[in-house]
Each structure stands twice: as C-alpha cells, then as structure tokens.
C-alpha cells in the first residue's frame, strides 16, 4: 500500500502513516500530506482509510491492544468478485434451546486455539452453558464478545466438512439474567475464515464439539457458480 506505515508512538495506539498528497491516501476524509496517527478499531472513534475507489483500510488491534495491523478491503478482489451467496439450513425450531448458564469464579479462563497460532490464547470464561439433548449432557464454554454480556460460542458438529464449513461455526448468545441462556442455532454464522483464508479463526475447543449434526444456521459460502468458495 502507498505510504510508510509504522507503529504509533507508545501510549497513542494505532498506526503512524507518512505519505505525500501524490499517494492519494485519505484518513478521516482528508488527504494525507505528512505524518498522521490512525486510530485502531479499539478506539472510541476508529479512523477511516481510503486508498482509491473501492479500496479501503481498517487498523485492527490484537486482543491485548498492544499491537496493530492494517487490514485492506478491495471491492474488486478475486474473492469478492467470485462471491455468490451464503447457503443456510431451513429454520428448525427444535434447535432453539434454553440452557442453564452457570457463572464461574472471577478470573476463570478457557484456552482457545487459532488456525495459525502455535499456542492457545487464554480467554475469560464468565460461565458454563449446560443442557441435555436426546439423553446426552453438554457443557459448553463461551467467551465474551465485545462489550456487554454477549458471548461468543465457537462450536463444531458432525456437519463440518460434510454439509457445513469444515472449521466450525459461531453463535453469539446473551445470558437471560435468570440463570438461563437461549441458544438459537438457527442464528449460527460462518466464521471469517469461511470467506477468506487470510483470517485466523478460533478452533472449537474439545467440549464445544458435538458428535451429532446440527442442521441449523449458515452452512457454506458459495461462489457464483454454486461451488464452495472455501472448504
């Protein structure tokens, strides 16, 4: 990308960009001619970056907010041009489950592996999700998803690599406040790595891997010709 990119000075967060007007880079709506500091997506007001028509950027922070990277979106990229649709299962009310939500002690964590990481990342574990289905007891681990009480459940099931994306899927439930949590698997979504191999997605921990097929929610990303965009 045009310009010279570097970490912002300690304490500022985000990235520093040095460019000339001829580079044509816009940050927060203004052409950069000199050095500017670009706020990351963890800031109250993240910066906007535009390189050209259809090509934009976002400064992303790691989970510890200690390092930042530049993510570029190109509307004319091969992946975008080849995208067709997202395939999904028909709605199934039997996969709307009211489970128990049992809070854990403060400081409890769960180890989550990512596709491109050699070591697991420790994530806060605010509680365990417990329910029974067809005589089988399940105890799932979900970690916080941004602000508020919303959780991210990374799960796998017997459909993965058969009728759904191979790595697994995400669900974003919120505890109900009465000791229960609603798991509507019809709202299961594909992870970012289903759309691009450049993403580094979390892998379902062992306890979140179902031996049964959960035929609800999103299935696969399809190309315009109906084939799988990614396997």
Measured distance CA(208)–CA(141) in Å, rounded: 7
What φ, ψ does residue 133 adopt, rounded to 5°? -145, 125
Provide the pLDDT for residue 66: 86
Q: Where are the beta strands (DSSP E) in 89-211?
A: 96-103, 109-112, 121-124, 127-133, 136-141, 143-144, 151-155, 169-171, 180-184
Is residue 188 left, alpha or beta, with left meaning phi > 0 and alpha meaning psi from -120 to 50? beta
What is the pTM (predicted TM-score) of this model?
Answer: 0.84
Q: How far is CA 129 from CA 71, 98, 126, 230, in A?
A: 34, 10, 10, 30
The C-alpha angle with vertex 171 and arms to 167 and 176, in degrees rounded to 5, equals: 155
Beta bridge partners of 127: 103
Encode the chain (231 residues) as per-residue pLDDT tens digits. 999 999 999 888 899 999 999 999 999 999 999 999 999 999 999 999 999 999 999 999 987 778 999 999 999 988 888 899 999 999 999 999 999 999 999 999 999 999 988 899 999 999 999 999 999 999 999 999 977 899 999 999 999 999 999 999 999 999 999 999 999 999 999 999 999 888 889 999 999 999 999 999 999 999 999 998 877
What is the residue whose two structure tokens read 């997605």?
Answer: 201
Provide the pLDDT for residue 69: 94
């Amino acid at each position: 990308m045009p310009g010279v990119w570097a970490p912002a000075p300690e304490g500022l967060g985000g990235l520093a960009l040095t460019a000339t007007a001829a580079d044509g880079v816009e940050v927060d709506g203004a052409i950069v001619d000199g050095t500017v500091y670009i706020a990351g997506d963890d800031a109250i007001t993240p910066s906007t970056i535009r390189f050209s028509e259809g090509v934009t950027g976002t400064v992303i922070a790691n989970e510890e907010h200690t390092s930042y990277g530049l993510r570029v979106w190109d509307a004319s990229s091969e992946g975008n041009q080849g995208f067709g649709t997202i395939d999904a299962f028909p709605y199934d009310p039997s996969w709307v489950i009211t489970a128990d939500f049992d809070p854990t002690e403060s400081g409890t964590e769960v180890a989550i592996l990512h596709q491109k990481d050699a070591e697991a990342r420790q994530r806060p574990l605010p509680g365990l999700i417990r329910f029974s289905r067809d005589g089988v007891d399940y105890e799932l681990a979900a970690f916080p998803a941004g602000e508020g009480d919303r959780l991210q459940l990374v799960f796998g099931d017997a459909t993965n690599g058969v009728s759904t994306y191979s790595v697994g899927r995400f669900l974003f439930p919120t505890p109900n406040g009465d000791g229960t949590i609603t798991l509507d698997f019809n709202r299961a979504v594909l992870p970012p790595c289903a759309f691009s191999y450049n993403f580094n997605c979390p892998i379902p921990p062992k306890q979140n891997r179902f031996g049964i097929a959960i035929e609800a929610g999103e299935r696969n990303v399809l190309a315009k010709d109906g084939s799988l965009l990614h396997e």
